[in-house]
Every structure is written in C-alpha cells, then in structure tokens.
Amino acid sequence: MKIPTRISLSLLAVTVFLLASSACTTDNTTDTISSTTPGLWYTGDGLVKSEYKTIAFTTLNFENLKQDMAQGRGEYLASLGTLLGVPGDHQAEFFTLTREQYPILFVSERTTPGEMLAELHQALKSDPTLNKSVVTN
C-alpha cells in the first residue's frame, strides 16, 4: 500500500519535531541532574528526597513553568506553589507574584532552574503575605 506523499511528509515533520523536542528537554535535564552527586537526590527506594523535590520538579518542568509564570496561571505553577508550601488560599497572590517578577526570575535565556528558584525564594521572602509559608528547599 502506497502512502500519499503529503501524509508521508507530515509524518516525517512530526517525527523530526518530536525528536528535536525530546533532545532539548533531555539535554537540559541531564545537564542539571548530572552535575550533582549520583544518588544525592534519591532515597534507597529510588524516590526523590523531600529536600530535592522542588528542584527536581522545576528542572523536569522548566519550560512549562516559564510559560505558566509568564501568564500568571497554570497547573505547573500551581504544583510548584504547593511544593513551596503556598497555601491554597494564597495561590492567586503567588501567581501574580511570579507574573510580575518574571523579568527578574528569568533574567536571560540562560537562566537555570536553580537560579530561577533562588530568585523566586527571594521574591517570596520579600512578600508580606507569602513569606510566612515559604519552604526553602
């Protein structure tokens, strides 16, 4: 059975896009995680240690977090807020803070997840409402 050229080219384009996307994500994640001591982030059971959950989540979801923070809403941002200890009734303030602080949180295209989290912790500590609930890991 012969597949029409138009469909073949579409499938090829989608495949190339998916491969390129996964290579970018994997490279960034591997660079960040491999820079730490092997096993440092994980328990003997293979679970992420509680003190590394926030950086692990941020590293693995960095691009999605950037988009959510720019919009001031989204499921990845809500999850990050939960990991940081932001109470549910203060999520709206957290969303607003990340949207307003976006230029500081992502000072350049080379901002790393760790750098963004450090700036976010500073912004949270400076906020009179959110500073009481910040988790520092």
More confident site: 63 or 5:
63
| pLDDT over 60 at 48, yes or no | yes
- Give the per-residue pLDDT at 18: 46
Buried (b) or exposed (e) across 73-91, using 16+ Cβ within 10 A? ebebbbbbbebbbbeeebe
For residues 130 and 76, state if they share a domain: yes
What is the total count of domains within the chain? 2
User: Of 4-8, 24-28, 89-93, 130-134, which has the strongest mean pLDDT?
Assistant: 89-93
- Give the per-residue pLDDT at 50: 83
Dump the DSSP string for 24-80. HHHHHHHHHHHTSPTTTTB-TTSPBPGGGHHHHHHHHTHHHHHHHHHHT--HHHHHH
For residues 29 and 44, state if they share a domain: no
For residues 14 and 65, state if they share a domain: no
Residue 114 tokens read as 């760790």
For residues 55 and 93, state if they share a domain: yes
| pLDDT over 50 at 9, yes or no | no
Mean pLDDT check: name the lowest of 25-34, 89-98, 103-112: 25-34
Q: If you search the block for the tokens 């977090």, which residue do you land on?
A: 65
| pLDDT over 80 at 127, yes or no | yes
- Give the per-residue pLDDT at 134: 65
For residues 4 and 28, state if they share a domain: yes
pLDDT band for position 82 (cuts 50, 70, 90):
very high
CB count in 10 Å sphere of residue 101: 18
Amino acid at 12: L
For residues 63 and 21, state if they share a domain: no
Rounded percentage of the chain residues whose pLDDT exceeds 70: 68
For residues 125 and 86, state if they share a domain: yes
| pLDDT over 90 at 24, yes or no | no
Q: If you search the block for the tokens 């080219």, which residue do you land on?
A: 9
Q: What is the overall mean pLDDT for the chain?
A: 79
Paired with 42 in beta bridges are 48
Domain that holds residue 128: 37-137
For residues 54 and 4, state if they share a domain: no
Rounded CA-CA distance 18/62 in Å is: 18
- Give the per-residue pLDDT at 41: 76
User: What pTM, to 2 d.p., does this model score?
Assistant: 0.68
